[in-house]
Amino acid sequence: MVHPTNPLAKGSAPNAIFDLMKKPCVVVTGGAGYIGSHTVVELSLAGFHPVILDNFSNSNRSALDGIERIIGSRPESMQVDCRSHQELSAAFDSIAEQHTISGVIHFAAFKAVGESTKLPLKYYDNNVGSTSTLLQTMAEFDVENLVFSSSCTVYGQPEVIPVDEGAPILEAESPYGYTKQACERIIRDVHASDQPLNAALLRYFNPIGAHPSSHIGELPLGHPNNLIPFLTQATAGLRDPLTVFGDDYPTDDGTCVRDYIHVVDLAKAHVAALQWLDARSLACESFNLGTGHGNSVLEVIHSFQRVNGVDVPHVMGPRREGDITAIYADPAKARSAFGWSCEHSLDDALRDAWNWQLALGT
């Protein structure tokens, strides 16, 4: 069901309505989630009018409050399940009454790797189903520009690092990883068909941190599987000590290496990707979004302790099944195409992650 919260319906002054209608309107599926909420902020600051479509299956409306506190106005949002063609086209219809939809950013998906191995159909249904339904709806409303949330998981264990976009796509390690490969393929197939489609496939490395205001961040729903949410909760005393998954890898200190990118830098890359699409017609390209630097788990823990002046309780443990030894991005393609690069350091991200944890309280 569609539940619009439309600022245009609140008796705004005519000039405000005119200004809003002049802004390029971007549909943001999953815009109440972790990366989506930060992207909605950056879109708004860059002069876009984002409209969030989210079913709140892994988020809640407090993210809308947080966005409002940062940008000074309530973001337009509708409760929509992107798997439902009926709901999605009703939402597009209602948006199109007031705006020309210039593009879509598609975040809506489930993302828990472990859960996907236990409930693969839940992941195929949601991640692949919503992408297919969205593409169909975009065709019906003549919307061509699409930014898609992919993942470096498509590379598996790369033979060469830093990894660039030409690296082979290896067999997916999990159903979640396969949904990202499958969605990329679906988008490429549609691009090669008669449907006009202009797409940027963004392969995120490891997004971390929170907005520096601490008004939005990653919501801790259930037991965190990712490093930073577990680390902050363990440090806050809400969890057992962090287990470092393996210290016998062939890396400098024996722990795995990843490319941790501040979520605000990642969000800004989406704005740049939309601008890149706007200057093109019928492109379909993939881009790595990372810093270009790798950090080990122990380096992250030590940096977190130094930056925040706290102890991170941690113990060494066995390797986690399916973990990759080391991966970090070659972000040169995004840098030259988008004119984008990361502005925040690992220290910034770890400080913002801790401030977000403190803002959440216990």
- Token code pair at residue 230: 């577990």
* Residue 123 contacts ligand NAD per CB under 6 A: no
Identified binder of ligand NAD from the candidate list 5, 6, 12, 57, rule CB under 6 A: 57
Q: Please state, in angstroms and rounded to a whole number, the distance separating the CA atoms of residues 290 and 178.
A: 21
- Of 50, 56, 92, the C-alpha closest to 71 is 50
CA dihedral 63, 67, 68, 72 (to 10 degrees): 170
Q: Which stretch binds ligand NAD (CB under 6 A): 33-41, 301-309, 310-318, 341-349?
A: 33-41
Burial class (CB in 10 A: 0-12, 13-18, 19+), 67: buried
- Inter-helix orientation angle 34-45/263-278, to 10°: 60
**Which of 2, 26, 27, 32 is in the footprint of ligand NAD by CB under 6 A?**
32
Binding-site partner at residue 258 among ligand NAD, ligand UD1, none, CB < 5 to 8 Å by type: ligand UD1
Which positions are annotated as active-site residues?
A: 176
Distance CA 335, CA 317 (A): 37
Could you say which of ligand NAD, ligand UD1, none residue 289 binds, taking C-beta under 5 to 8 angstroms by partner kind?
A: none
Binding site for ligand UD1 (CB under 6 A): 111, 113, 151, 153, 173, 177, 206, 225-227, 230, 242-245, 256, 258, 297, 320, 322-323
User: Among 25, 43, 55, 232, which residue sits at the site for ligand NAD (rule: CB under 6 A)?
Assistant: 55
**End-to-end alpha-carbon separation of the chain, Å?**
34
Q: Which is nearer to ligand NAD, 32 or 273 (CB)?
A: 32
- Scanning 236-344, the segments in alpha helix (DSSP H) are 263-278, 297-308, 332-338
According to DSSP, the β-strands at 198-204 and 257-258 are unpaired
Query: Quick one: which of 2, 25, 28, 33 contacts ligand NAD (CB under 6 A)?
Result: 33
Residue 75's binding partner, choosing from ligand NAD, ligand UD1, none, with beta-carbon cut-off 5 to 8 A by kind?
none
Q: Does 107 engage in binding with ligand NAD (CB under 6 A)?
A: yes
**What does the alpha-carbon distance between residue 84 and residue 133 come to, in Å, rounded to a whole number?**
7
Question: Taking CB under 6 A as the rule, does residue 109 contact ligand NAD?
Answer: yes
* Sole binder of ligand NAD in the list 8, 23, 46, 56 (CB under 6 A): 56
By the criterion CB under 6 A, which residues form the site for ligand NAD?
29-30, 32-36, 54-59, 80-83, 107-109, 111, 126, 130, 149, 151, 204, 207
